[in-house]
Amino acid sequence: MWKFLLPFAAFVALVVLFAFGLNPNRDIHELPSPLIGKAAPPFALTDVLDPTRTVSTATLQGQVYVLNVWATWCVACREEQEELLAIARQHVVPIIGLDYRDNQDKAKLWLTQLGNPYAAVPFDGDGRTAIDWGVYGAPETYLVDAHGRIIYKFISPMTQEVWEKEFLPRIAAARSGA
């Protein structure tokens, strides 16, 4: 009897897994982050374009900012580059570009050739800072309020639609103290 129940139980488990995992109504960008509402993990890293400059959460304190995790090896990061440039030209909030597990020379070349949407580009060569922030992969974009708390996380390439729908209202609320 066990030789029939075990395969049947495995089949039922797979059906349940696929039913929930392949739900077409599920938003792939909605991965819960335990850091929402909590203090942004501290970091102090050198800037990709100016190694004498240190970029840190302490220097960003007191302002609303966006932290965009990117890398030159990331195909989706290249897709979002034009959108980030357009968003940066709006001068709504500073965009900080955390260069994640990358080659610093390649990152400099990328920013020179494709344009630099970032107010600062901290270099996270070993990926420890990204791990502290709960990064699954690149690109990921975080919104941090003036108190240094993470208030939103978006996974996937940034688009103008996402910027307008998800980020701008939260930025306005963060600035008004809501």
Q: CA-CA distance, 158 to 129, in Å (whole number)?
A: 21
For residue 89, the 8-state DSSP code is T
pTM exceeds 0.85, yes or no = no
Q: CA-CA distance, 119 to 93, in Å (whole number)?
A: 9
DSSP 115-143: ----SB-BEETTSHHHHHHT--SSSEEEE
Q: Tens of pLDDT along 123-168?
A: 999 999 999 999 989 999 999 999 999 999 999 999 999 999 999 9
Q: Tens of pLDDT along 71-92?
A: 999 999 999 999 999 999 999 9
Structural domains of the chain ordered from first start: 33-176 (3.40.30.10)
